Amino acid sequence: MGLERRWLQAVTTAVAICLLSVSQGEASLVHARVGSSAELSCSLNPTSTEATTPNLFPLHVVEWVRLGFNVPILIKFGVYAPRVHPNYKGRVSLTRGASLLVERLTLEDEGWFECRILLLDSQKDDFRNGTWTFLSITAPPVFIKTPPTFVEVLLGDSLTLSCGAHGNPRPTVVWHKDESQIEKHEKIKVLNGTLSLAAVTRNISGVYKCHVSNTEGNLTHYTQLQVKGPPIILISPEDTTLNMTQDAVLQCQADAYPSNLTYEWWKQGENVYHIESLKSRVKVLVDGTLLIPNLIPEDAGNYTCIPTNGILTPPSATAHLKVKHPARVGRMSRETYLPAGMEGVIVCPVQADPPVMYVNWTKDGNDLNLDNFPGWIVNSEGSVFITTANDNAVGMYTCTAYNSYGTMGRSEPTQVILKDPPSFRSASSA
């Protein structure tokens, strides 16, 4: 309603200026500030004829009218108390005869005023119209709407910060972020004092300043904006190579708002606290660091750090842990079956980092001498390959693997048993 009223007033003023320029050819202008007082001049000086009776002015009525008002804002007759429009009650009075004093000015007081003097004792109705006076009211800015002093917005959501002010002249509105004026940007838009963003990004966080100003003064409103989102990993774990029995320290550090960060560590897709060989030894520190003391070969693998604050999808970072150790043999089968008269393999399940260099075998408690068994070899994986399995292959075997770090000992024994291979029989023989 305020904007409509001021628009109507501006149109009315323009029309009045045109009319006055034709009918009277002159008008006066009075400037004043909101809250102060203004005097609109109007003379009661008698004409030359009236001046023949000294100090006597004919009986008269003083009216002050305002453009756009249906009734005068003040009427004064003789010694009687003036009648005042309700909008000006207690704020207007006559001074120095017929001049109008308006006190405690507001922006709504701006407009066109005219002094009219009606001489009652004249032989003819003598209605004197004074010149029109335009009362111009200036006012420093006053905020009519501001955003909250603290705003949280979710990453990816839209954002609107509205700021507006009243004042005369009309205040200009300028937005700043972290003391830098926000220029036209393809993502950030400012229109009629409202700052808007279709999709919030992380770098939007900061201190926003709405500054309003005109020739009468200026005001500033500050808003702290925080973007809520998943963590950002600042320090990622690195691929690490350590010797067995050493302690592993895998670092992971993140930053986020809200800052209620927790860290999870996973190995090969399973939480480290759920892995039997790790759960009693592993520890995740408050800063996200993963500690694995007294490394064993089974600790080798890919480890993934997942920091989270409960907002959206958390990020992750993965590193490979390599554990160097002497060669060792994994779980050996108690029995190994070979097909009689065919190729066969006695497997030694070697685990070695650095890689295995060689594997020693025993058969029935004695070192296995391949020279005594034509067609037998130890392949690159350390297993015994037999071209044609026969009764010579039957026995109890063990293997011992070696690498540049040495060995972790002999395997459990496996009993090699010879079995006839499957064969087809015709239906007639059955």
- Place 119 in a pLDDT band, splitting at 50, 70 and 90: confident
Residue scoring higher pLDDT (280 or 22): 280
Residue 243 and residue 240: Cα distance in Å, rounded? Answer: 10
Bridge pairing between strands 92-95 and 27-33: unpaired
Classify domain 2-139 by CATH number: 2.60.40.10
List phi, psi (to 5°) of 90.
Answer: 80, 0
User: Residue 15 has what pLDDT?
Assistant: 42
In the sheet that holds 38-40, the strands lie side by side as 38-40, 99-102, 92-95
In this chain, the answer to whether the domains covering 232-325 and 330-419 adopt an identical fold is yes
Question: Which of 109-113, 190-194, 367-371, 409-413 is predicted with the least confidence, judged by mean pLDDT?
Answer: 190-194
* Residue of higher predicted confidence among 269 and 46: 269
Of 78 and 66, the structure prediction assigns the larger pLDDT to 66
Burial of 131 (0-12, 13-18, 19+ CB in 10 A): middle
Q: Using the predicted structure, report yes or no on whether residue 320 has a pLDDT greater than 50.
A: yes
Please state, in angstroms and rounded to a whole number, the distance separating the CA atoms of residues 225 and 205: 5
Which letter does DSSP use for residue 216 in this model? T
Residue 60: its pLDDT value, please? 84
Q: What is the pLDDT of residue 356?
A: 94
Higher pLDDT, 340 or 424: 340
Kindly list the domain boundaries of the chain, sorted by start residue.
2-139, 146-228, 232-325, 330-419
CATH top-level class of 330-419: mainly beta
Distance CA 415, CA 421 (A): 18
- Report the run of H or E that residue 20 belongs to, with start and end: helix 2-23
Interval 62-72: pLDDT, tens: 999 999 999 99
**Tokens standing for residue 406:** 């040495």
> Which two tokens mark 382?
């350390």
pLDDT class of 102 with cuts at 50, 70, 90: very high
Q: What pLDDT does residue 78 have?
A: 82
pLDDT confidence of 314, banded at 50, 70, 90?
Answer: very high
Average pLDDT over residues 322-346: 95
Check whether 9 has a pLDDT greater than 50. no
Q: What's the CATH number of domain 146-228, 1.20.1560.10, 1.10.10.10, 3.40.50.620, 2.60.40.10?
A: 2.60.40.10
pTM given for the model: 0.68
Phi, psi of 160 (to 5 degrees): -140, 125
Helix (H, G, I), strand (E, B) or coil at 299: helix
**pLDDT of 359 over the 70 cut:** yes
Close Cβ partners of 424 (under 8 Å, ≥ 6 residues apart):
none
Say how far apart CA 90 and CA 38 lie, in whole Å.
Answer: 14
- Statement: residue 46 has pLDDT above 80: no
Element holding 188 (H helix, E strand): strand 188-191
Terminal Cα-to-Cα distance of the chain (whole angstroms) = 108
CATH of segment(s) 232-325: 2.60.40.10
User: What gap in Å lies between CA 397 and CA 74, rounded to an integer?
Assistant: 124
Q: Average the pLDDT over 10-39 and give the result.
A: 65
Calculate the CA dihedral of residues 412, 415, 421, 422 and round it to 10 degrees: -80
Total length of the chain: 430
